[in-house]
Amino acid sequence: MVSESVLLFSTLSFVVQLVVLGLLIFGYFLKRMRKFRQHGMTMTVAVFLHLVTVFSWMIRSFVSYFGSVSFNFGDLLILVTLAHVAFGVFAASFGVWLVASWHLKKDISKCFTRKRIMLTTITLWLTAIALGFVLYVSIVLS
């Protein structure tokens, strides 16, 4: 049984990640409507919210989890956790780079050359969110 504080912070982090997912989807529709500046601002908010959960909860959770278990690579939950961290680190890093390289410029022409990186980032991010959901369910059910 997990403690109430772990369950509370996990749930709060999960809810924020659902908001981030909603922002990603909303940002995609803004891009489809050719509202590129609003798309960029929405993605900036999504990256910021994601980083808040990473630094306020996820890093501490990861360190405490692996401090209390042995690395048994036959354990599916450990593999899911490691994959979640790997996908999440790359997605967050690319997201920060994309947002920082744009930094609210009015000229968006350089953004179009980064389309492949954006698609890679969203794929990594969605994979990390899906794996995070698996981890959240494992916490709630334990």
Q: Tell me the longest C-alpha to C-alpha distance in the chain.
A: 52
Residue 104 pLDDT level (bands cut at 50, 70, 90): low
pLDDT, one tens digit per residue, over 67-77 is: 766 777 777 88
CB 91 within 8 A of CB 131: no
Q: Which two tokens stand for residue 114?
A: 């980064």
What domain range includes position 8? 4-141
**Which residue do the tokens 């798309």 mark?**
39
Query: Stretch 89-112: mean pLDDT, rounded?
Result: 80
Count of domains for the chain:
1
